[in-house]
Amino acid sequence: MDINRKTAYLVLMAVETKKQYSNIALNHNIKREKPTSEAFVRELVYGVLENKKLLDYVISKLITGKLKNVRTPDLTILRMGIYQIAKMSSVPEYAAVDESVQLAKKYARGRDKFINGVLRSYIRDRYNITLPDREKELVKYLSVKYSYEEWIIKLWMEEFDAEFTESLLAAGNQTPPLTIRTNTGKISRDELIAELKKEGFEAEKCSLAEKGIKVIGEGLLETEAYKKGKFSVQDEASQVAVQLLDPRPGELVIDVCAAPGGKTLASAERMDGHGTVMAQDIYAGKTDIIEREAKRLGLLNIKTKTWDATRLRQELCGKADKVIVDAPCSGLGVVRRKPEIKYKKNNEQMASLPVKQLAILETAANYLVDGGLLMYSTCTVNHYENRRVAEDFVRRNPEFKIEDRIQLLPNVNGTDGFYICLMRKEAKKK
């Protein structure tokens, strides 16, 4: 059996049955199985995840029974087989079928003939399968074509017209650029670009993030530059958030939802070692990551603490110049990196997010000095978690005024979908 397809199968099953995040399942299985082509495994895993609804729609047209009665191993092998035939031009059709049958013999015993039959009928009938009617069933059409749960499309169509929504859906299925943030305490952006180019990478400046670089090439984290802490991997939108907040040397910054530390570390770098960033997160294991990264980057001005941000730390009230609330959210802005988010159900947990976000904001706001700046950000595109939460907050806390807010979008800015809102606490009148 081909080790690359076996690895992809194990990753997809971990995502499907254990609800693991694709990036975590990928790294874990690649390490364990040692596939001969990591690139093939990634292409197949992300291709299947990005197109899951479309693949299931196609499979439902090829089988006689109901899709929900097809067992998960059989369905996973069928999705992989059809994806290879439809989208991976490097894979001959016969190889896609034969390798799927081999996988079935190991992981879906007794179902290899069924799988062989479905894949052969796909090869025969694929051009007769049509999508739902765009005119009559727009949401369903978009849901199948771009593989998103229908509630996400309806949510976006509350804010954007059909054409814009479609381009946002399509952008969510693109591979995101690899972007890094220069640690300017160690090297300038131009010098780092030159160093990376010398190592054989393509590297160019980001347009929005002043320390950002877009990089193309394999093995970035094995470079000396990385080991010596000259840069960190961070999406451009996250970099822009800290750029707008603009932490200065000597300030006290409190980041209440800090792990894995992107904004904490970017803030500490901007402060040139002067002042302090207090980084809190509810999970102890996650604050360890921040400490490890601070060490790699040579940053001494970060203090971490495991803490639930909805609980007030009395001793910090009125102390911080800047507070970061990079809240837990639905993640609809990062589907390019975690395509499994496109299939989340709009359940109670989703609906309760704005309540939690507001509770964290209200607690964190207490830490600011008069005249201090509060940043609320999320990596989602959902006005109930973004604009609505920020507006609710300032309505309930009139001493805060919104100073700036932006929604970055993958189809407009090429970044993750990201919301940033800066709110200033009124300075006390003398």
Ligand X SMILES: C[S@@+](CC[C@H](N)C(=O)[O-])C[C@H]1O[C@@H](n2cnc3c(N)ncnc32)[C@H](O)[C@@H]1O
Catalytic site positions: 379
Applying CB under 6 A, which part among 34-42, 191-199, 211-219, 305-313 lies near ligand X? 305-313
CB atoms within 10 A of CB 91: 17
Known binding residue 305? Answer is: no
Q: What secondary structure does DSSP assign to 266-295, as a single string?
A: HHHHHTTT-SEEEEEES-HHHHHHHHHHHH
Q: Interface residues for ligand X in 17-76 (CB under 6 A)?
A: none
DSSP-based three-state secondary structure for 184: coil
| Length of the chain in terms of residues written | 430
Site for ligand X in 328-387 (CB under 6 A): 328, 379
Residue 94 within binding range of ligand X, rule CB under 6 A: no
Let me know the angle formed at the C-alpha of 362 by 423 and 309, rounded to the nearest 5 degrees: 110
Of the candidates 307, 280, 304, the residue with the CA atom closest to the CA atom of residue 291? 304
**Cα gap 159→72, rounded to integer Å:** 35
Q: Is 286 in the site for ligand X (CB under 6 A)?
A: yes
Q: What is the dihedral of CA 256, 261, 263, 267, to 10 degrees?
A: 100
The residue number with the shortest CB distance to ligand X is 262
Phi, psi for residue 425 in degrees, rounded to 5:
-85, 130
Asked whether residue 235 is marked as a ligand-binding residue, the answer is no
Options 177, 185, 217, 260; binder of ligand X; rule CB under 6 A: 260
The distance of closest approach from Cβ of residue 145 to ligand X in the complex, given in angstroms and rounded to an integer, is 29
Stretch that binds ligand X, among 36-44, 106-114, 203-211, 259-267 (CB under 6 A): 259-267
Is residue 257 involved in binding ligand X (CB under 6 A)?
Answer: yes
Check whether 35 is labelled as a binding-site residue: no
The footprint of ligand X on this chain (CB under 6 A) covers a number of residues equal to: 19
* Closer of 56 and 251 to ligand X (Cβ): 251
Minimum CB–partner distance for residue 417 and ligand X (Å): 13
Among residues 169, 309, 320, 325, the one that binds ligand X under rule CB under 6 A: 309
* 214-231 exposure pattern, b = at least 16 Cβ within 10 A, e = fewer: bbeeeebeebebbeebbb
Distance between CA 351 and CA 138 in Å, rounded?
A: 25
Point out which span in 119-127, 213-221, 252-260, 341-349 binds ligand X (CB under 6 A): 252-260
Site membership for ligand X, residue 282 (CB under 6 A):
yes
* Separation CA 116–CA 102 (nearest Å): 10
Query: Which amino acid, 277?
Result: V
By the rule CB under 6 A, 132 interacts with ligand X? no
- Residues making up the annotated binding site are 257-263, 281, 308, 326
| Residues of the shown chain interacting with ligand X in the complex, contacts defined by CB under 6 A | 238, 256-263, 281-283, 286, 308-310, 326, 328, 379
- Residues making up the annotated binding site for S-adenosyl-L-methionine are 257-263, 281, 308, 326
